[in-house]
Structure 1
Amino acid sequence: MSFFGKNIKKIRSVQNLSQQDFSKIFDLKRATLGAYEEQRSEPKIETIIKIANYFSISIDDLLTNELTVNELLKFKADFTTNTAKVPKNVFPIISCVTAALVPEYPSSFQDDGFMKSLPKLQLPVSHPEVSLAFEVQNLEMTHLDRGFYPKDVIIGCKVAQKDFKNLDKGSYCVLVTDENLIFRRSFFSSHQVTLKTEHKNIEDITMPISSIKQLWHIRHVFCNQIPDFTDMIEGRLTLMHQDIQKLHEIMR
């Protein structure tokens, strides 16, 4: 048994990353990461290489040594208290497809000039080199005052067609066809995809996978208004309790 599980758990602690945050960076399921940390499962070599490269740790150290906090923080002898010399974190620059540019995007995304002319955002996101932002256009992905509103900005990572099948069912995705740019939940089968909105009265769209020219798996959202974080289950239970009380009153 390697030290991989212990080490990635310590890395998360040092980097102040939750299991969910860590999983997103490396395209892992949270349950899979938990299995690694609890030493119930060993990772694929591709995963080991990604994590080692990302945190600049040798694969040998990651697997065979229980790393210390000092090693993970990489303390240096040339540490300085002069803040002018301390490197500043710079948020990556992400191109954004605004609502006004959505009609043009399906026919122009292969045009380098068009892509370079897109408005730019500077945001704290992972994998900026394969990310693209989109401005939400409508209320299709809103239900019971929750979800994605017009002017919200969603950011997706580009997914190759061979990897569509690896997406979790119901993943939020932006799909690009010859004529349309569609933001919905995606459910893939062997040869087709069904796209669902959060509104139950809007019909699903089913199309062959071959018609998808690009797919962006949504990983971040920047809201135009403060979301309502009230627990939906708690709210539904309260409504059910009120309905039961009304029934009792009627039956008296």
Structure 2
Amino acid sequence: MAKFFAKNFIKNYLFFSNLISLMFFSSNLRHLRRVNNLTQEALANHLELSLKKIGSYEEGRATPKLEALLEIANFFSVSLEQFINQDLSVVQDTPALPELKKYAAAERLRILSITQDRNENEYIELVRLDMEEDYIKGYSNIEFVADLPKCQLPALPLNQTYRAFEISDSLLAAPTKSIVVGAFVADWNGLKDDEPCIIVSENTGVIFRKVKNRIAQNDTLLLEDTNGQFSSYSVLVEDIEEIWRFAAYINLDFPEVPTQVNELRQTMQKLQTALEILENKTDEESHK
């Protein structure tokens, strides 16, 4: 009975509070989102809500249910009472999200320099092996990026930004010194386990690995060696400059036919020759 009363008291309290201070909830949501440099889309992704809902909450056209309201308040590390009854825009110490959470979600400023043709189609810039160190230092410099070799691959899906890297340290199926094309990843929280990615970091250089996403647990990515040559290891997201999700790769060497395939082909040829000889002998004997 006590639980029933408490639950209904909270619901009634929230209903009454929403009637008198709906403006605080909407304005506080906008304020907290902007203070933490979050777009509506990014906030919707973090809370697993639709972009339409976030917009309606901020504009005062709708209010969330109790569970959603508690989740939003917890996300911004404010109490429920503060959220709905206090104008947080006039509070000096407005709570801020941890810097790493914003960094992984690309809400801390992350500059991506691109180049385009005269029709505003993006080029794919190529980072050669001898440019790797310079790229790690100048990846956000538009003049540096503009000087990189560039091409366009029309077969790739549209509405993404691509970059090509000549890989010297690859423990995946793509051969060493092949060119791997990656699609830019803005929000690292959305990386799925075992996705092959190009990681750009001052500590590791430019490497091609499968990743396991451990950002929610300890702000790291686990980089895996699928060939079993080395142990897997973790990198902090704050030590990573860029992540590019695998899109394609170009091998500059013509692929060799595996030895087993060659042996099988030779065996089949011998069998075919033997069969032809046997057929000829059968024909000769039948004509005698």
> TM-score category by the smaller chain?
0.3 to 0.5
Normalised by the size of structure 1, how large is the TM-score? 0.48
The structure with more radius of gyration = 2
Normalised by the size of structure 2, how large is the TM-score? 0.42
